[in-house]
Structure 1
């Protein structure tokens, strides 16, 4: 069962605080970790509930971890084992960007996300950017959960995933660990759990090809500080490769970009692509080899 977003937000928001350095730490105040999660969706009424449920679970696990970091620090895999997060509150908000949807996507999102933006985007890059750049507060299009003013904080983190994907329960906390360690952006990996729609040998071919590289970039598993996102101009309105483009510009600017394989996002192996030349088309091509 999905947690109603207004209840989740009330439970996780906690008192306002500030941190200096990556997360604006100040002595004598409760730390508030701010995370905005953006999910673009086009006609995803079937898979979106599962995606949102996984995100909500990851938020809840992160909130528990931040209440008692020492007690829970060893329960999840990490690429930065030496990093300790200070106790604090989690202010996490989920935006679904419903792009030209003709099914029940908007209704699903309004029940379970904090905010829903209905748009007619030029590309997936445009849709992602609209969700990341839209201000919170009066005048924004809020779903059932609403959301506080002031998303633009130097200590806040933007996370991107997709409507056909599910994140692991330690996804949010792992991205926070990398941010605390000084990373401005994190490029995470993806995995596929269900190959039923595909040829029998594709799973093994994918595993072999994927293992050849360690520099994967996926919009389904990407994190970036809001400060870096703003300085770089955010996702560009590209029909494909908007995720790689953002990470490339981040690296070119001299900012630190981490790769992370410890919190893979499970994505769909479906044949019908939502974005041209995206992950589905990559699998389609690999299937022909």
Structure 2
């Protein structure tokens, strides 16, 4: 079984399109009908996110942590307890491609770090999109880490100790732990996702915050740089 974990904190504006894309990816013919379990972890939600997930028949768990590291770890552990051999992670403001999950598995690695694309820069100065395009390495061999596009085998995840309880950069910490244990990591641009450049971001040091507060001309090493 394959597990997909989506942490959610008041994401009713984005969640429908996210889940539609995830459901399509879970039905990819390239997965050869392997069972895929999608889990939405509702973290301190006070909006209609739970109802949206229920309308798609997707299981939810509730936590009151206001901490994305705890939310991802809770979801991951639930999928592991169900027997998942692979864990895939994305975010509620992200739309994965139809073959996103299959492309992660095709990398034949312990973990896969994928890239992100932004197709709506509304509300930002025009030069931000230009700077992002010029400095972000959307290609194989990149060194970006995004919780919106991350996959890891169950064994490697356990060996690395899982996500730490961090309010941001939990994805970076997990990848660093995987590297420290000699896990094979595919830095791949094959698993595609489109994410938002929203200003009302949820994580203080996440991708949205990095865009808003600027990023180095040499590129974004990871989306949690602002709170490293």
Normalised by the length of structure 2, the TM-score is: 0.88
Residues 44 and 66, structure 2, Cα contact 8 Å, conserved in 1: no
Structure 2 CA distance for aligned equivalents of residues 135 and 205 of structure 1: 38
Residues 43 and 66, structure 2, Cα contact 8 Å, conserved in 1: no
Matches within 5 A, 1:17-56: 34-56=1-23
Query: Is 1:234 matched with 2:199?
Result: no
CA drift of 1:273 comes to: 1.5
CA drift of 1:230 comes to: 1.5
Structure 2 CA distance for aligned equivalents of residues 121 and 226 of structure 1: 24
CA drift of 1:122 comes to: 4.7
Instruction: Quickly say closer, same or farther: Cα 1:265–1:152, change in 2 above 3 A.
Output: same
Instruction: Quickly say closer, same or farther: Cα 1:105–1:151, change in 2 above 3 A.
Output: same
Matches within 5 A, 1:47-196: 47-61=14-28, 64-67=29-32, 89-134=33-78, 151-152=82-83, 156-178=85-107, 181=108, 183-196=109-122
- Aligned-partner SS, 1:201: helix
Higher radius of gyration, 1 or 2: 1
CA drift of 1:57 comes to: 0.8
Structure 2 CA distance for aligned equivalents of residues 160 and 257 of structure 1: 15
CA drift of 1:96 comes to: 0.2
CA deviation string 1:139-163 (max 9, x = no partner)? xxxxxxxxxxx6235xx10000000
Instruction: Quickly say closer, same or farther: Cα 1:243–1:135, change in 2 above 3 A.
Output: closer
Match of 2:143 in 1: 215
Residues 43 and 67, structure 2, Cα contact 8 Å, conserved in 1: no
Structure 2 CA distance for aligned equivalents of residues 93 and 206 of structure 1: 34
Match of 1:248 in 2: 176
Structure 2 CA distance for aligned equivalents of residues 245 and 107 of structure 1: 32
Structure 1 runs of 4+ with >3 Å offset = none
Structure 1 CA distance for aligned equivalents of residues 47 and 58 of structure 2: 20
Instruction: Quickly say closer, same or farther: Cα 1:267–1:197, change in 2 above 3 A.
Output: same
CA drift of 1:135 comes to: 5.7
Query: Is 1:281 matched with 2:221?
Result: no
Of 188, 199, 207, which residue of structure 2 is paired with 1:271? 199
CA drift of 1:277 comes to: 1.2
Structure 1 CA distance for aligned equivalents of residues 154 and 8 of structure 2: 22
Normalised by the length of structure 1, the TM-score is: 0.70
- Could you list the runs of 5+ residues in structure 2 that have no partner in the other structure? 218-228
Match of 1:200 in 2: 126
Residues 8 and 43, structure 2, Cα contact 8 Å, conserved in 1: yes
- How many residue pairs end up in the alignment? 215
Residues 94 and 113, structure 1, Cα contact 8 Å, conserved in 2: no
CA deviation string 1:81-139 (max 9, x = no partner)? xxxxxxxx311010000111111011111222531001112511111001111268xxx
